[in-house]
Amino acid sequence: MVDEIYPIRGTLTKQMQSSALVESAGPKYALYQEICERLHHLLGDEKNFVANAANTSALLLQMLPDINWVGFYIAERNELVLGPFQGKPATTRIPFGKGVCGTAATRGRAVIVPDVSKFAGHIACDPASRSEIVVPLLTWGKFIGVLDVDSATLKRFDAEDQEGLESVAAVFLGSLIESDVPDLSDEAALD
């Protein structure tokens, strides 16, 4: 089914393929599905992390309403280093466990902050930001960084945004996978 909507290059597990679609049919479903489809075509056969992260952040800023900062932080030892982004200049390095990005890195799951002024230790990429969502980037069980999205509106992000951005992250990560990556699905493991 995933390949009928937008084929993902490379050999991915069935779990990764199904995660590339937003599964709920809420009001944001169509928007995130369109973003995923456009992103897949935009990234094409490019495998470079920087190029694909730059285009992903640009597309998200263009297509998501009410966003003032979007970008990537890349894991390096015990901290996150600023990667491609769209918005005002940002903090260059964030230790794991600090701010929303560092918290998502240590938890290994998405963090939604409805009001950043109430998040202890919040690190602002843009002083106008009032809410934030951070999605960890995990590939083959390895943490490689986070996708960070900010808004100047309180309570901008919800579970549908989380699911949608996790789908965007799956398309982004899928673009980086070489076609010769071994199939780690349950069926292949039994062979």
Please say if the pLDDT value at position 140 is more than 70.
Answer: yes
pLDDT, tens only, 91-106? 999 999 999 999 999 9
Sort 61 into a burial class: Cβ within 10 Å, 0-12 / 13-18 / 19+: middle
Predicted local distance difference test score (pLDDT) of residue 122: 87
User: Which tokens in the block code for residue 140?
Assistant: 């083959």
Would you give the distance in Å from CA 130 to the centre of its chain? Answer: 19
Mean pLDDT calculated for residue range 132-152:
94
Please say if the pLDDT value at position 190 is more than 50.
Answer: no
Mean pLDDT calculated for residue range 138-160:
94
Please say if the pLDDT value at position 4 is more than 80.
Answer: no
Predicted local distance difference test score (pLDDT) of residue 25: 63
Mean pLDDT calculated for residue range 77-87:
96
Domains recognised in the chain with CATH numbers = 2-179 (3.30.450.40)
Q: How many whole angstroms separate alpha carbon 51 and alpha carbon 24?
A: 30
Mean pLDDT calculated for residue range 127-141:
92
User: Which tokens in the block code for residue 16?
Assistant: 């990764």
Q: What string of H, E and C letters represents the secondary structure of 41-84?
A: HHHCCCCCHHHHHHHHHHHHHHHCCCCCEEEEEEEECCEEEEEE
Higher-confidence position of 67 and 27:
67
Mean pLDDT calculated for residue range 121-125:
82
pLDDT, tens only, 12-52? 333 333 344 444 467 799 999 999 999 999 999 999 999 99
Mean pLDDT calculated for residue range 114-131:
89
Sort 165 into a burial class: Cβ within 10 Å, 0-12 / 13-18 / 19+: buried
Per-residue pLDDT band at 179 (split at 50, 70, 90): very low
User: Which tokens in the block code for residue 34?
Assistant: 């369109």
Lowest-pLDDT choice from 14-18, 127-131, 137-141, 153-157: 14-18
Q: Is 137 helix (H, G, I), strand (E, B) or coil?
A: strand
